[in-house]
Amino acid sequence: MHAYPNAGLPNAMGGYDETPQNFGENMRNFALDGLVNMVGGCCGTTPAYIKELAASVNGLKPREVP
């Protein structure tokens, strides 16, 4: 399974309020819970989000496919 979430929900101005750190922490929790074996980012994610994402899952084992 893979996940490519947005940087949170869009706000009233069309921007995203979730921080890269919070995004990375959420994705780390997905990985630790064994929910994903591939991660990325979609709407609102910038290089800062992807950098934080990579750091947050670095060294974690991918989900084992049953």
Burial of residue 52 (CB within 10 Å: 0-12, 13-18, 19+) is buried
Q: How confident is the model at residue 66 (pLDDT cuts 50, 70, 90)?
A: confident
The tens digit of pLDDT for each residue in 11-39 reads 999 999 999 999 999 999 999 998 998 99
Does 47 have pLDDT greater than 90? yes
Mean per-residue pLDDT of the chain = 92
Rounded CA-CA distance 53/26 in Å is 9
Under 8 Å CB-to-CB from 37, ≥6 apart: which residues? Answer: 1, 2, 62, 63, 64, 65
What is this structure's pTM? Answer: 0.87
Rounded CA-CA distance 66/36 in Å is 12
